[in-house]
Structure 1
């Protein structure tokens, strides 16, 4: 199967060519790109861009020169809250989000040809000057607005209750959108089929399939451990280990802080060298993140500082996107699933962090994305009503019992016996009848679309179903 071409890498090449108004040779393009790309790989990437009509090829052989098509004057229109940038050159539509004036200026700066952007290193003052609950990346007005639209229930609920209620939808949405922002080409339906039935899509790179399955495992960790999850080494390193499983050249690097230098494609930003300083800064980021009381500021702080530090060999952005959901899951707020977020807007926002230490454009993306996610889950929230306090009290016992019955492939008679035995040992007498009814209802309502919340595999469910029917 062909290896997936990184859109970020293609954009870096296109921008490099844009720095040569009269056209550039392959050697000039190669010298303008960091990190370096092997010459044969660069030739293939240039061919892709020419085929897409994003570059023009002039001449042949050693005299070949590439240039950006002329007359690319932007015309911006807004449709349904999404900005479309139309060019007068070859047909091309860029989907973008509404952004502030400051955000637009940051976008302009990070989209300059890479030769016009000054190389920068990691600025430790960016984290050093941040004081939790005194410094704010998001204004009070914005934080209040997000709280108003993000509240899922009234009353006090156990941590993670709302995420469990919408778990299947959240799992698919967050997995697909986070993977999509990495260039994954699985469709939403293909993602759903893989998560629910374990069926990988034909013609897809094995790395894409692995990326999606890794997201599932990481999201399960956040939801199932909502009570204990916080910004500490255990959570973030294990989150990375799950998200990077089978994706890194060195398996030992999964969950381990970076020990060598890395580069950022299409950027003049150079992260810290690996070693003791990364450990020190990592602890500082986690300490300050954990001290932030406002859930939205805490989430956005994670989206800013975790990718900026580049604490791991790779997969840093994925870690930050899932970590941003820690406060939302814990406090039963609407989750952030990055629904409809354009990859270009997200990358521009990160480049603003990397190269300028400016948070405004990424904040525009964050706020728009959260509003979009809230709209996504509002219908589900309205239909849920108030959660059953009895179910909340016994949810772990119910999940444990249902999982054990299915994995053991018990038939109906054996299941009744197992439930009764469990009830006698674990459930107070006045609750036993209702608990029995609830477990039986869960078992009869099981199907391939809801088994993920019990951490059941499709094969386990199918084996059980043969004996249950």
Structure 2
């Protein structure tokens, strides 16, 4: 005999996005409201259901990417048509609804936060701009089927050399990305997820690529389709405009930069606000909250193309962000690691290495010989004794920690240490033997 939990899961599987009342009537008509509420709470806590919205707008869907993968086993031309669901956006309450769990957001924050001290808004973005132009332009174009490789992309962006044998549209797609990314970085202090800025990003990405050039930087007024999906986007211009304004209003209220980034990455393609180039717009725009927060960018460099498309189809047809969330997190962690290392290079380690050279070496030696680990609180005390100014102390200690993590038998001479000194020391990166 099936339990109430099984009945609820079966009902939600066939009626995704249902509210509590509909679930009680459809899955457990004999049960009381309290019993159903407890069952739903239990299933959410167990990770089997996902909840969005609050109060009467609360909606439930099956959790996780497995649901989407099972759904995608049926060929798209045999899946029933699915229309745009305004409740998917309506149910989202900024800073109360989260597509990314608290644990996910903390993990991303740790990965993306800068090495050393904070910089003035936009400084970091400008320093890594040259590399970001290549990485993001290539990766985002590749996700659209562009056949340029990354070296060809670099030559095109840096030297204006188009690769031979390539369609001109491919070259233009990449150069348009370059312009859009530069627009974001050059205006980072003032840019936001607003109509003018998103229209600007779209207009730059669409330059020369639309049959009707007047549709660049403008919401669509004609129907569009989505390839390899049974999803049917809105076809009413007035409703598209209303939904777009709701989308932007909610996006602007989201406090967490990663949640805000993912929200934009999901909802712009879901609405299909523009006649074309929606996904490209969402990928560039998803970097705005990250760069404004002085975090590592999302380059999409390692994003799995097939999983990304599956994630979007799961969003389109099921209102399920499971796969899209997985690929977002995995791709950002890889991107953050690359740009974290670059941040360490473009920050100001030379000041710590030269001005505070003695402190850094003493901090590393102390950590090895006395603490057998890097104790940040002790190092901050040591920095105070060295009379390192308050506003530089955190960044200098962070630099010393990076040197400690990089210890190996080949560089011990810098700290007057021996191989025997470091035996068994855990640097946080690996255990030295």
TM band (smaller chain): 0.5 to 0.7
Listed as ranges, the matches of 1:234-383 within 5 Å are 234-383=196-345
Q: Counterparts of 1:171 and 1:387 in 2: how far apart (Å)? A: 24
The corresponding residue for 1:215 is: 177
| Residue 112 (structure 2) pairs with residue 150 (structure 1) | yes
With the length of structure 1 as denominator, give the TM-score of the two structures: 0.60
Task: Say if 1:282 and 1:309, in contact at 8 Å, map to a contact too.
Answer: yes
How far apart are 1:117 and its partner, in Å?
A: 1.7
With the length of structure 2 as denominator, give the TM-score of the two structures: 0.65
How far apart are 1:383 and its partner, in Å?
A: 1.9
Task: Say if 1:349 and 1:362, in contact at 8 Å, map to a contact too.
Answer: yes
Q: Counterparts of 1:348 and 1:199 in 2: how far apart (Å)? A: 34
Segment of structure 1 superposing worse, 374-383 or 339-348: 374-383
Q: Counterparts of 2:335 and 2:293 in 1: how far apart (Å)? A: 16
Q: Counterparts of 1:302 and 1:248 in 2: how far apart (Å)? A: 22
The corresponding residue for 1:161 is: 123
Which string of whole-angstrom CA distances, capped at 9 and with x for unpartnered residues, describes residues 141-200 of structure 1?
000010011002444432221111111111100000000000000010100000001111
Task: Say if 2:115 and 2:344, in contact at 8 Å, map to a contact too.
Answer: no
Task: Say if 1:102 and 1:361, in contact at 8 Å, map to a contact too.
Answer: yes
Q: Counterparts of 1:278 and 1:116 in 2: how far apart (Å)? A: 27
Task: Say if 2:220 and 2:273, in contact at 8 Å, map to a contact too.
Answer: yes
How far apart are 1:110 and its partner, in Å?
A: 2.3
Task: Say if 2:193 and 2:252, in contact at 8 Å, map to a contact too.
Answer: yes
Runs of 4+ in structure 1 off by over 6 angstroms are none
Task: Say if 1:153 and 1:332, in contact at 8 Å, map to a contact too.
Answer: no
Task: Say if 2:77 and 2:229, in contact at 8 Å, map to a contact too.
Answer: no
How far apart are 1:378 and its partner, in Å?
A: 2.6
User: Number of paired residues?
Assistant: 290
Cα root mean square deviation, aligned: 1.7
How far apart are 1:360 and its partner, in Å?
A: 1.1
The corresponding residue for 1:102 is: 64
Q: Counterparts of 1:153 and 1:161 in 2: how far apart (Å)? A: 14
Given candidates 129, 136, 160, the residue that maps to 1:198 is 160
Q: Aligned pair in 2 of structure 1 residues 248, 115: CA closer, same or farther (>3 Å)?
A: closer
The corresponding residue for 1:225 is: 187
Q: Counterparts of 1:275 and 1:115 in 2: how far apart (Å)? A: 27
**Helix, strand or coil for the counterpart of 1:168?**
helix
The corresponding residue for 2:82 is: 120
Q: Counterparts of 1:127 and 1:347 in 2: how far apart (Å)? A: 20
Q: Counterparts of 2:63 and 2:292 in 1: how far apart (Å)? A: 34
Listed as ranges, the gaps of 5+ residues in structure 1 are 1-99, 390-469
How far apart are 1:388 and its partner, in Å?
A: 10
How far apart are 1:132 and its partner, in Å?
A: 0.4
Listed as ranges, the gaps of 5+ residues in structure 2 are 1-61, 352-433
Q: Aligned pair in 2 of structure 1 residues 133, 387: CA closer, same or farther (>3 Å)?
A: farther
